[in-house]
Structure 1
Amino acid sequence: MKRCILLFVTLVAALFSSSALADKFPVGFKNNGLNGPLRPVTKGGVTTFQIFDRKCSSVDYGDGRGENDCHNGNVRATLIGPDGKIGESMDYRFDLWVDPSFNYPGFFNGHAMGFLPGGLDSRLRIASWEGPFIHNFLYMLKVDATKGVTFLGNECQSPARFGSWVAFSMKVRWAADRTGWIRVTCDDKLIYSADNVPTNQAPHCYITNQCEPGVAKNPKWFTFCVGPVMAGFGPEWEKYGLTSQFTAIQPEGITIKMRNLSAKKGVKP
Structure 2
Amino acid sequence: MLVLLPLYFTVPAVADAPKGFKEAVFQGSSPKLNGRELVFTLLPGQCSSKNYGDGRGESDCKNGNIRSRINAKKHAKLGQTMEYSLEIWIEPGFRYSKGNVPRSKLTLMEWQRINTVKNHIYVLHLDSSSGAKFEDKACFSPSRFGQWVTFKMLVKWSKNDDGFMEVFCDRKRIFALKGQNAIPPGCGTKAKQQCHLDKMDLRPPIQWQIGPKLNGYGIVYKQNGKKIAVSTLAKGWFDDEST
So what's the TM-score if we normalise by structure 1? 0.76
Between the aligned residues of both structures, percent identity stands at: 31
* Cα deviations by residue, 1:34-89 (Å, 9 ceiling, x for unpaired): 101x2011121000000111211101112222211001000000001121111110
Displacement of 1:246: 3.3
Quick one: distance in 2 between partners of 1:84 and 1:135?
18
Quick one: distance in 2 between partners of 1:147 and 1:216?
29
- Structure 1 residues without counterparts, runs of 5 or longer: 1-21, 110-118, 254-269
* Cα deviations by residue, 1:149-199 (Å, 9 ceiling, x for unpaired): 110111111011111110000111011111110000011000000112x22
Deviant stretches of 4+, over 4 Å: 238-241
Is 2:182 the counterpart of 1:200?
A: yes
Please name the residue that 1:34 is paired with: 26
**1:67 paired residue among 53, 58, 67:** 58
Kindly name which structure, 1 or 2, has the bigger radius of gyration based on alpha carbons. Answer: 1
CA contact (8 A) 1:234 1:245 kept: no
Q: What SS does the corresponding residue of 1:55 show, helix, strand or coil?
A: coil
CA contact (8 A) 2:117 2:199 kept: no
Matched ranges for 1:1-269 at <5 A: 23-36=15-28, 38-81=29-72, 82-109=74-101, 119=102, 121-132=103-114, 133-196=116-179, 198-205=180-187, 206=189, 208-238=192-222, 242-244=226-228, 246=230, 248-250=232-234
Displacement of 1:131: 1.1
So what's the TM-score if we normalise by structure 2? 0.84
* Cα deviations by residue, 1:109-150 (Å, 9 ceiling, x for unpaired): 2xxxxxxxxx3x200111000013201011001100111011
Displacement of 1:220: 4.1
Displacement of 1:219: 3.6
Quick one: distance in 2 between partners of 1:65 and 1:241?
20
Given residue 123 of structure 1, which amino acid in structure 2 is its aligned partner? Answer: K
Given residue 48 of structure 1, which amino acid in structure 2 is its aligned partner? Answer: V
Quick one: distance in 2 between partners of 1:150 and 1:122?
9
Quick one: distance in 2 between partners of 1:220 and 1:87?
13
Please name the residue that 1:19 is paired with: none
Given residue 88 of structure 1, which amino acid in structure 2 is its aligned partner? Answer: Q
- Structure 2 residues without counterparts, runs of 5 or longer: 1-13, 238-243
